Amino acid sequence: MKWIEEITFSVFVSIFLTACNSSALSISEIEIVPNKVRGVIDDNNTLQIINEGEDISYIVFQSKGIVTTDLETQGDTLIIKLDVTNQQDNAVKQHVYKLTLDPNLDTIDIRINGKSTVIDSVTGI
């Protein structure tokens, strides 16, 4: 019976270590923008990053059409993919995304429809 306890303990330790090493990396569009974020958004910028501490950032993207997002990592670089479709509507909409960062990544590359894009403004709150 001791070997069952050892195997059970080994499995538990493996699961625990895997969970500790897993990335908290995520992105989601938010409908209710916190006041402290709203206060620093520059409507004249197409693409803005607002950093809140070390692990939370907000991406503000002004665009026409429908925007879908995806995340990818390459080494220590986070690639944020913003793909815009159905741009026939002339109205520009503000999209605000909450980004939870992985501390192992130190570079962000935002790609709009596959092309790396210059970030107009980076602000801290």
CA 60 vs. chain centroid, Å, equals 11
Mean pLDDT by 10 residues, the chain (125 residues): 45 41 81 96 97 95 94 96 86 95 93 97 95
The count of structural domains within the chain is: 1
Asked, for residue 55, whether it belongs to a domain, the answer is yes
71 in a structural domain: yes
Asked if residue 13 lies in contact with residue 21, where contact means CB atoms within 8 angstroms, the answer is: no
Q: Is residue 86 part of a domain?
A: yes
Question: Does residue 41 fall inside a structural domain?
Answer: yes
Domain presence at residue 19: no
Supply the pLDDT for residue 15.
43
Number of helical H runs and strand E runs in the chain: 2, 9
Say what the pTM is: 0.79
